[in-house]
Structure 1
């Protein structure tokens, strides 16, 4: 019986020394924390300043396009005040134009491509300016026709 106890003692001692060796090799020579392990194995980008500048540029561009989109929407709302006559269904054109503008802005709300956003903004500004120019021309034409007929009754 003593022989078996001695045999198991030798096995446990050898197991313990092997385990201590393995622990020392892997745990103590390696990182103690997960952060150290990640720092050691993740490739770091040496151009940190360029990334910050790019992020700043992207934020400025997004801010400026948001500001331009808001200005365009406000211009549309201001311009629709002049369209007070009703359409064929009796709904004022002002309301129809505002609903269409709102729908188009909502459709393009999550657009991220800068070229498409710029194209939409330029197209929107052109459409508002064109509609206002046509409205002014029509009012001038109506005023000229009214002057030919004689003085207006006000």
Structure 2
């Protein structure tokens, strides 16, 4: 789990769970909006097209929008928070994979230039 995910989990666990269930209080909208904006910014790094000719960045933006629309209608605060945490963790894993791929690409370019 990423550091941000761990911090969010600690925040949730520090409050009594009964309070969240009884009050039906939703997780802060600002956390969901922050995550949505982060996904939109990150989608700009996906500038290539898939085999159908569709831009991956646009596919990611549309998918994120659909997921967040579904999340808006969720009334159970625990499920809503789980959705946010799962999305954040997926985003972090995708960023790590992207960074690894760029690092390997740069390594390959450097090796081929030096030979």
Coarse TM-score class (shorter-chain normalised)? 0.7 to 0.9
Question: Which of the numbers 129, 132, 141 marks the counterpart of 2:104?
Answer: 141
Name the TM-score, length of structure 2 as normaliser.
Answer: 0.74
Distance 2:91 2:58 in 1: 15
Deviation at 1:65, TM superposition (A): 2.2
Aligned counterparts, 1:38-117, within 5 A: 58=23, 61-62=25-26, 64-117=27-80
Distance 1:132 1:79 in 2: 8
List alignment gaps of at least 5 residues for structure 1.
Answer: 1-53
Q: What is the match of residue 131 of structure 1?
A: 94
Deviations, residues 15-64 of structure 1 (Å, cap 9, x unaligned): xxxxxxxxxxxxxxxxxxxxxxxxxxxxxxxxxxxxxxx7xxx59x53x5
Name the TM-score, length of structure 1 as normaliser.
Answer: 0.56
List alignment gaps of at least 5 residues for structure 2.
Answer: 1-18
**Which has more radius of gyration?**
1
